[in-house]
Amino acid sequence: MDRTRPLTLLLAGSLAAGGLLALTPTARAADTELARNGGFEAGLDGWTCTAGSGAVVPSPVHGGTKALQATPAGSDNARCSQTVTVKPGSTYTLSGWVRGSYVYLGATGTGTTDVSTWTGSAPDWQKLTTTFTTGASTTSVTLYTHGWYGTPAYQADDLSLYGPGGDPVQLPAAPTGLTAGSPTSTSVPLSWTAVPGATSYHVYQGATRIQTVTGTTATATGLTASTPYTFQVTAVNSAGESPKSAAVTATTTSGGGGEGGGLPAHALVGYLHASFANGSGYTRMADVPDSWDVIDLAFGEPTSVTSGDIRFNLCPAAECPGVETPAEFKAAIKAKQAAGKKVLISIGGQNGQVQLATTAARDTFVSSVSKIIDEYGLDGLDIDFEGHSLSLQTGDTDFRNPTSPVIVNLIQAVKTLKARYGPGFVLTMAPETFFVQLGHQYYGSGPWGGQDPRAGAYLPVIHALRDDLTLLHVQDYNSGSVMGLDGQYHSMGGADFHIAMTDMLLTGFPVAGNADRFFPPLRPEQVAIGLPASTQAGNGHTAPAEVNKALDCLTRKTNCGTYQTHGTWPALRGLMTWSINWDRYNQWAFSKNFDAYGWS
């Protein structure tokens, strides 16, 4: 926070008191009021507030009968803004009345120097004023007011922009040339011709607006296989929204490798400590019970954080007494596969930081992972990137169009592997809640910086690969409290946490509270719940009875407790656990409970 500004305001006040305010240019005859609905008498008409933070209240007001009240929350500073048409090379005065702590008033996009003014404390209405001159080609500016993080609600009223009016903006024409590309089982790519004067486009699926984009392409996701969908597009600028384009209809395909990967309707996934030992003891591949449908070999790790060169070796005999020979290990894998099980290489883990920051690292990742898969005859890949493997660069704010190299390169690498091995390739992911569900509140460093850049960083990876993704099993453990779709915080260890976290994946959610950036739901057969197998395996162990309550709620809408889900998903794929070794240490309590649960 810039604490030099109160001194600037005091100096400005002193100059005004001394009569120097007369230096301000006299308003010309062409000057006029340009702010629309500055007194908020028409509600929020003309104004847009972040994350639903703004509302119109009847009291307190400065003038008229209504005023704006906006409430900061979390990483949102309750910014309310309006874009106004102006003339190039002209001087404008921005003013408004505010109440509250740390209230800001400003303008961006001036083409010269953006301006703002603020007050640190206004227990009663206080006027803020600033001026600016537009650039030689500037035709619009954005006015805004906002509060500060962690402070109470503020009020604003009678906001004004005074100066020469700009040429009126014309409503854009309806887009033409809307075309649907090649659909997948869950998505349809769309493209259209650019419209002169448009600043963005709304994409409609039937009568529902599903996206807002600034370019001339979009992808509708979260669709159902073998289903026809109709789409239209409108063009948008400050004058409003155009008529809809001609409609285009596309039918999704019947599905491919992302449809289930040959798994049973309800599957049990577990990690096998194959390359290291810990307090749980070593478990041979041949000794893994038939309960386990997917066996993730933990872990393939890089030679260095940024190399992309992944290596996997069996645990040394000195560390793991009883470890099998490589030949025995490979034979046991083949036996599991013959019994219908899937065996994957899991990359990463707590100690295996992987940052594909360059295309060279990306290509090395592809070649080294392929070598492991080929050597051991594996069925696919599990991505278990943790720690600082994935983060979003400043300015990378849209999960649908990521720009951070570590994200983009990972997506490209996995798509290459998928194309190399074909539709039978099994792809799973095991992110932590910090990288997925926390994205409902926070995404990357945020629009103004200062947040953890890792927050929600898995979302662009999941979204880009959702048509290839066999299974997502978020780690519902070693997690802080996370806000659910009910606006309440949920803590690990009981059924409530698993219900709320899984409901988010199956319902979808606005990313960072932005309704225009909605993370579409995954199919229930793509989702499993990740839990620790025992109290020793990780923080957040959930007793078997609570696990069953979570499954009852999500698949039958019974035993839901206080959290009410947004649907019922009997096709929920199953459970994942860390780990097979820890379950063995705990007399197989986790897998036995899974086997005993009545799924039908």
Token pair belonging to 204: 């409609």
Question: How many CB atoms within 10 Å of residue 492?
Answer: 24
Give the containing element (helix H, strand E) for 185. Answer: none
Question: How many CB atoms within 10 Å of residue 193?
Answer: 12
What's the Rg (C-alpha) of the chain?
Answer: 28
Of 386, 432, 525, 546, the active-site residue reads 386
Strands 103-108 and 140-146 turn out to be antiparallel
Distance of alpha carbon 222 from alpha carbon 253, whole angstroms: 13
Residue type, 469: L
Sequence-separated (6 or more) residues with CB below 8 Å from residue 459: 399, 435, 436, 439, 443, 511, 519
Question: How many CB atoms within 10 Å of residue 422?
Answer: 9
Bridge partners, 175 (sequence order): none
Count the residues in the chain. Answer: 600
CB 82 within 8 A of CB 46: yes
Half-sphere exposure of 521 (CA within 13 A, CB side): 17
Q: C-alpha distances in angstroms, 244 versus 172, 288, 442?
A: 11, 58, 33
Distance of alpha carbon 442 from alpha carbon 418, whole angstroms: 30
Active site residue 328: no
Residue type, 128: L
Distance of alpha carbon 163 from alpha carbon 160, whole angstroms: 10
| Secondary structure of residue 581 in the 3-state scheme | helix
Q: Which residues are part of the catalytic machinery?
A: 386
